[in-house]
Structure 1
Amino acid sequence: MAVMTEPRHGRFGDFGGRYVPESLIPACAAVEEAFRSAWSDPLFRAHLDGLLVSYAGRPTPLTPALNLSTQLGITLLLKREDLAHTGSHKINNVLGQALLAGRMGKTRLIAETGAGQHGVAVATAAALLGLRATVYMGSRDIERQQLNVFRMELLGAEVIPVTSGSRTLKDATNEAMRAWVADTDDAHFLLGSVGGPHPYPWMVRELQSVIGDEARQQCDSVPDVVVACVGGGSNAAGTFAGFVDTTARLIGVEAAGGAAITNGAPGVVHGSRSLVLQDAEGQIAEAESIAAGLDYPGVGPEHAYLSSLGRAEYRTVGDAEVVEAIGRLARAEGIICALESAHAVAWVLRAAGTPDLPAGSRVVLTLSGRGDKDMATLRGGVA
């Protein structure tokens, strides 16, 4: 089946769209117009590409996990977004949107964050480009990601705790969007994932597609399987973009307590129609995950679309498997990955040697971030 490279009228099949208050329609339209202009401008692209190389440290390597490969009977290749500046894939999208904000004449970045990696990237880009940054973060996530809060503040960003609802990423996104409504003249809403109203799902995927494009170039042949963790889904969308037109199986791995594709139903959250966790009355249900970045009740609309086509498959893993996967990767390869990334590792550990991932398979797995931020959680300091 054909897979769209750009959503038609802002929609990926039945998903996507622009479900926002009337006051935000002009702001979303302005972002779309500005991004289309920038993305077709060779000077803008060259500026972004230059920053990705000289500042963010791209290309990130594709590292053979030799010891785990031997143990599992597969060939496992790790796409090392944990080695990008700020420690995750988030910098790819943030640098592009921050440059876009400057091109639009904006002076302030408004962002949401869960695990804090997006917030750190936003604070970093703001410092680099002379912009102000305001980052909304759930108070529960602040408690379990204190290192990243300190990093954001050290970089000059204002971190605003969100105490409503579950006090996690969903609620932080709500508050960030409300703040944007109040300041569309001066502020750009720098969304960190492939959700939200059009053009964000498409724009963020385009900015993150550098992951998949690099990985495909770094492979000497098309892998059998491409794996990435999925919350909102930006690292997976960027990774899949490089392989969606190949024969590779695409596997997205969700948190068992936040699996919108596996357990959700069509609904609207944060401006787009996708698959969403819902209660019996159709209200958005709370997600629950040890990984703050996956503690989200929805998923990007392109992932819902890829699932509906059968082009991508989605699996779930639980918290205990995730913690075990971090330890096993660390001891086998000397790499401590983020709790989010460990979901993808956990699925590979479970599936290797089964019909779902037969012996001899060649697997590309995106390590979306490093695990420094999760040490307190892993030591049992914060639940």
Structure 2
Amino acid sequence: MSKFDFAPMPDTDGFFGNYGGQIIPPELKKVMDDINQAYEEIRQTEAFQTELMQLNQDYVGRPSPIYHAKRLSDQLGGAQIYLKREDLNHTGAHKINHCLGEALLAKFMGKKKVIAETGAGQHGVALATACALVGIPCEIHMGQVDIEKEHPNVTKMKILGCKLVPVTRGTATLKDAVDSAFEEYLKNPEEFIYAIGSVVGPHPFPKMVRDFQSIIGREARQQFNDRHGKNPNIITACVGGGSNAMGLFTAFLNDDEVKIVGVEPAGLGLDTDKHSATMTLGKPSQIHGMKCYVLETEDGEPMPVHSIASGLDYPGVGPQHCYLKDIERVEYHSVTDDECLNAFMSLSQVEGIIPALESAHAVAWAMRVAPTLSEDQNILINLSGRGDKDADYVAEKLGL
């Protein structure tokens, strides 16, 4: 029994404590409720569970392994570092976990187009992949800044047959891509479905994406216990919207002995305006149909945020993360762009594993903390994606 008395996650109105809900126009409430009803109906069926299980095994390549980063651990001294290798999934990241579920749900509901936003492009690639698999047209909105940073993923999306919509307004990054995609969705919400790429947005998406991603934590808990006969001492993952983190965290929430840490981008520093540290410096507000912590300007508008990792530069965060922060079940820390780059290069050159810049944030935090702990302590990192998409950008930035 956990010492934490968790509220429903979520309740029937889609709230995690004070966060979440459906802050949407009245005409959209029925659409969202229909999605929730269809999801709750389909997830209980043996046919859906069997199809998803088989696709996870034979298409995605699950279960993803846990790898002991022994050379990195020895180099750092202190705690032993382990990686949950979501980077080995088909399409190269955790995003395929919920994209398959959302594509199957769209097919079940008879939708004629799937619309989504993407930041680093991993969600876009995974959703384009899943839509190709089930035969549904796919439209992805992506900020122009991110298109230029993440060219390999842009190419993959086009090859997979999706319609890519460049977004040039505002900061031309993830927040603006979300706005653009949602506007397209509103043109015909009865026939379109908006496949949100993280545990954000109006109910039921924070719940639904979490449920599809929770396979990460279920596997990791079983794998670690099979090998060590106990849970890891610390689990950690990067947090932008927070889907990969919630996927890992969910299985361990009732294990009080497990310290849980989310790592977000400090960018150029928390004392600058060039960061995306929503949980560290944000305050409760509203964005994209939900209540959550938000980084806002003095005028109450979402801040133009920054991270070297395109998938993390978002001024909001998943509502369940906000609730878990408030009840002090999960700690949230931040690392800078420079620390992220150092972790990216260290893991690449010491272990031969090139991580996504997003995932490198969690690696950087573990590298900071491991030397302060004893050798009998373990840190399990969710390595949420591989760094193929970032390699050219990093090489140019570092002059390699």
| TM-score normalised per structure 1 | 0.97
Which residue number corresponds to residue 300 of structure 2? 282
Cα distance change of structure 1 residues 276 and 121 upon mapping to structure 2, 3 Å threshold: same
Instruction: Specify the SS of the correspondent of 2:200.
Output: coil
Contact kept? 1:114, 1:168, Cα under 8 Å: yes
Contact kept? 2:137, 2:162, Cα under 8 Å: yes
Runs of 4+ in 1 over 4 A off after TM superposition: none
Which residue number corresponds to residue 2 of structure 1? 5
Residue 71 of structure 1 deviates from its aligned partner by: 2.1
Contact kept? 1:23, 1:181, Cα under 8 Å: no
Cα distance change of structure 1 residues 86 and 382 upon mapping to structure 2, 3 Å threshold: farther
Which residue number corresponds to residue 161 of structure 1? 166
Q: Percent identity?
A: 47
Inter-partner Cα distance in structure 2 for 1:38 and 1:244: 26
Match of 2:253, as an amino acid? V
* Count of equivalent residues: 381
Contact kept? 1:144, 1:382, Cα under 8 Å: no
Residue 5 of structure 1 deviates from its aligned partner by: 5.9
Residue 118 of structure 1 deviates from its aligned partner by: 0.2
Residue 148 of structure 1 deviates from its aligned partner by: 0.5
Residue 164 of structure 1 deviates from its aligned partner by: 1.1
Cα distance change of structure 1 residues 205 and 328 upon mapping to structure 2, 3 Å threshold: same
Inter-partner Cα distance in structure 1 for 2:249 and 2:338: 27
Inter-partner Cα distance in structure 1 for 2:294 and 2:343: 27
Please, which of 263, 269, 291 is the counterpart of residue 281 of structure 2?
Answer: 263
Which residue number corresponds to residue 118 of structure 1? 123
Q: C-alpha offsets along residues 178-203 of structure 1, whole Å, 9 cap, x if unaligned?
A: 11111212211110100000000011
Instruction: Specify the SS of the correspondent of 1:374.
Output: helix
Residue 382 of structure 1 deviates from its aligned partner by: 11
Unaligned runs of 5+ in 1: none
Contact kept? 2:8, 2:16, Cα under 8 Å: no
Residue 359 of structure 1 deviates from its aligned partner by: 4.7
Q: C-alpha offsets along residues 314-372 of structure 1, whole Å, 9 cap, x if unaligned?
A: 00000011011011111111100000000000001112223xx5553211100000000
Inter-partner Cα distance in structure 2 for 1:306 and 1:11: 12
Inter-partner Cα distance in structure 2 for 1:6 and 1:213: 17
Inter-partner Cα distance in structure 2 for 1:113 and 1:359: 39
Inter-partner Cα distance in structure 1 for 2:393 and 2:32: 37
Q: Does 1:379 align with 2:395?
A: yes
Q: Does 1:14 align with 2:18?
A: yes
Contact kept? 1:74, 1:361, Cα under 8 Å: yes
Contact kept? 2:9, 2:320, Cα under 8 Å: no
Matches within 5 A, 1:67-216: 67-72=71-76, 73-216=78-221
Q: Does 1:240 align with 2:249?
A: yes
Please, which of 228, 237, 247 is the counterpart of residue 228 of structure 1?
Answer: 237
Inter-partner Cα distance in structure 2 for 1:358 and 1:109: 48
Instruction: Specify the SS of the correspondent of 2:236.
Output: strand
Instruction: Specify the SS of the correspondent of 2:169.
Output: coil
Q: C-alpha offsets along residues 256-312 of structure 1, whole Å, 9 cap, x if unaligned?
A: 110110010011111100000011222211110000000111110000000001000
Instruction: Specify the SS of the correspondent of 2:60.
Output: coil
Q: Does 1:250 align with 2:253?
A: no
Inter-partner Cα distance in structure 1 for 2:278 and 2:254: 25
Inter-partner Cα distance in structure 1 for 2:163 and 2:9: 34
Q: Does 1:368 align with 2:371?
A: no
Contact kept? 1:143, 1:382, Cα under 8 Å: no
Instruction: Specify the SS of the correspondent of 1:78.
Output: strand
Instruction: Specify the SS of the correspondent of 1:127.
Output: helix
| TM-score normalised per structure 2 | 0.93
Inter-partner Cα distance in structure 1 for 2:8 and 2:149: 37
Which residue number corresponds to residue 333 of structure 1? 351
Which residue number corresponds to residue 45 of structure 1? 49
